[in-house]
Amino acid sequence: MRILLLTALAVVFAASLGGAAHAQSADATIAARKAGMDLLAAASGAMKRTIDAKTDVKPLKGTADAIAAWALAVPGLFPAGSDKGATKASADAFSDPAGMAKASGAMHAAALKLSSAADANDAPAFAAAYAELGAACGGCHRTYRQR
Ligand code: HEC
């Protein structure tokens, strides 16, 4: 009887530990994707300032490459269970992984264009790709982020 009780307690304890670990990792995932989005906004702001200042876009190649890499990572940052908590991701971000991948793909394509325009120090091409990047942000947010 005593052993049975201890076993039952151990099972309940293990289950609650598992639950806590799960909630914790969902919170960490939410914090990581939001921080990544904030860095993305900062990177995009730096691009905009360079375009407006009409200075060399060449130094922004690394930033563009980082955005391209981030775009590939984004769809994996919305695992089941990370839909609850301090998140503004819409239900569609979890139920429509193909749509999320497509929206991230648009950001990836724009970032690759930014990268080659920066490499060539081609300011007009960079500005055109920047407009495409902005459209990719908005295109995804319209469906996959709550207002
Ligand atoms: C593939 C979809 C997608 C793309 C592309 C995308 N975002 Fe987001 N973004 C989201 C989602 C979903 C959220 C909400 C995340 C959450 O709250 O868990 C978000 C949140 C944000 C936030 C708020 C972060 C916070 O701290 O709450 C900012 C800022 C942001 N995005 C900027 C950008 C910028 C700038 C771009 C383009 C350069 C961009 N995003 C491209 C899906 C996207």
Between CA 51 and CA 74 the distance in angstroms is: 26
Q: Is the pLDDT of residue 19 over 90?
A: no
Residue 50: CB atoms within 10 A of its CB come to: 21
Mutational test site, ligand 1, from 29, 104, 141, 143, max ligand atoms within 8 Å of CB: 141
* Ligand 1 atom at minimum distance from 100 CA: 1
Residue 14: CB atoms within 10 A of its CB come to: 10
What are 46-80's pLDDT values in tens digits?
999 999 999 999 999 999 999 999 999 999 999 99
* Ligand 1 atom at minimum distance from 30 CA: 18
Q: What is the pLDDT of residue 12?
A: 38
